[in-house]
């Protein structure tokens, strides 16, 4: 079953919605304009129920099928927030908000789900109910968790949930997916190493935190190379090294290290936290200093459920003629929280030969709209066929 003709007809209209959202990006939970636009469109489409303010600024719409003998309820989720990046595309519809842009394609995700919602509201050719979920704050704010914490899954009795992300480098409209762990858990650490500062010409009278911190940075790399099983995925990256003094002739009293840890399993996550504490405390003690480690757990690993993944892949094959086995992604995705509450799957749709996500020259490819909308619509019509 190829791309639905209705979405080819709607493509220019959906593109207009997408470019309007692109021109007016909003960060984290500040998606007030975008949320209002989504709610307005859902009302215009004739959704049976529209609720705002779920997860602060999230929007939920309910579309009932022609019948409901199955009692099934499927959730479809799109993210709405932008990134704190200054846009460099030069497009006619480039961001009008300085320092904010849709550099990850959430404008496209929102527009495609709106397109699917319009089609499903028109046809209602399914047996059950669809809950369309428009989520704020995917980019580090945990909006997915907040919507779940607000009781979204139980309130609408959502039984399965599906999500999608565009993917630069993959042919436009092509799909990719994998079962099991797909996107990584995203943790961060903040380490303060304390020594005894002094004159750089008299290092013997100091406890040198720069040497201590340099040793710690190198030692932290042994978590991946010497502590983790080589077949497990783990990344430990120190991304910031800041001394308490910037003078050329002062050995600083303290050094602060910051960084991120990416893992695909609970075991690796626990190992990383344990070893970061042990390594930093041990290195600091060796040099006569001390270490204070703060380890903050962010998004969990996003894990696709086996049955729903195979179903999602089968739908993708019907829409585009194929569905590749996707590679692991060490980036994070807070759809993970929804997949912890309900079975479901997350798929990638090709964005073509474009700049990478989170790049100031990235732009969502509007040619992907028909395929993305068709996949969401087919998820509903195939999973809950009309009675």
Q: Per the annotation, where are the binding residues for Mn(2+)?
A: 104, 106, 139, 165, 358
Strand pairing category for 250-251 and 198-199: antiparallel
> E strands of the chain, at which residues?
49-54, 58-64, 73-79, 129-135, 160-168, 175-177, 180-183, 185-194, 198-199, 234-243, 250-251, 254-263, 290-299, 302-304, 324-325, 344-352
Closest CA to 328 of 263, 270, 273: 263
- State residue 178 phi and psi, 5-degree precision: -150, 150
Residue keyed to tokens 């100031």: 360
Which residues define the annotated binding site?
A: 104, 106, 139, 165, 358
Across the strands, what pairs with 230?
none
Instruction: HSE, CB side, 13 Å, CA atoms: give it for residue 323.
Output: 21
Alpha-helical runs (H) found in 178-222: 209-220, 222
> E strands of 246-343, at which residues?
250-251, 254-263, 290-299, 302-304, 324-325
């Amino acid at each position: 079953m190829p791309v639905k003709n209705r979405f080819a007809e709607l493509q220019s209209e959906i593109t207009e919605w997408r470019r309007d959202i692109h021109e007016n990006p909003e960060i984290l939970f500040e998606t007030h304009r975008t949320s209002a636009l989504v709610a307005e469109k859902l009302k215009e489409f004739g959704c049976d129920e529209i609720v705002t303010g779920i997860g602060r600024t999230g929007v939920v719409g309910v579309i009932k099928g022609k019948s409901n003998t199955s009692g099934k309820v499927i959730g479809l989720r799109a993210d709405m927030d932008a990134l704190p990046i200054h846009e460099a595309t030069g497009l006619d519809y480039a961001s009008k908000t300085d320092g904010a842009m849709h550099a990850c394609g959430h404008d496209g995700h929102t527009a495609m789900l709106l397109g699917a919602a319009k089609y499903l509201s028109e046809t209602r050719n399914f047996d059950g109910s669809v809950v369309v979920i428009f989520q704020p704050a995917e980019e580090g704010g945990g909006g997915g968790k907040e919507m779940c914490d607000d009781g979204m899954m139980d309130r609408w009795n959502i039984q399965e949930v599906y999500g999608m992300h565009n993917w630069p480098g993959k042919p436009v409209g092509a799909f990719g997916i994998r079962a099991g762990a797909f996107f990584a858990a995203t943790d961060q650490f903040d380490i303060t190493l304390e020594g005894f500062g002094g004159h750089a010409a008299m290092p013997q009278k100091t406890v040198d935190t720069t040497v201590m911190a340099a040793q710690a940075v190198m030692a932290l790399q042994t978590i991946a190379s010497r502590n983790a099983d080589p077949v497990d995925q783990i990344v430990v990256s120190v991304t910031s090294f800041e001394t308490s003094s910037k003078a050329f002739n002062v050995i600083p009293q303290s050094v602060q290290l910051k960084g991120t840890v990416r893992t695909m399993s609970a075991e690796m996550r626990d190992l990383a936290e344990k070893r970061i504490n042990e390594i930093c405390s041990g290195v600091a003690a060796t040099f006569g200093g001390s270490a204070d480690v703060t380890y903050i757990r962010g998004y969990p690993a996003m894990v696709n459920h086996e049955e729903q993944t195979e179903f999602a892949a089968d739908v993708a094959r019907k829409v585009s003629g194929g569905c590749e086995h996707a590679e692991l992604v060490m980036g994070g995705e807070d759809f993970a929280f929804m997949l912890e509450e309900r079975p479901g799957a997350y798929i990638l749709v090709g964005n073509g030969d474009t700049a990478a996500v989170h790049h100031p020259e990235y732009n969502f490819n509007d040619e992907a709209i028909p395929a993305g909308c068709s996949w969401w619509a087919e998820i509903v019509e195939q999973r809950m066929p009309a009675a």
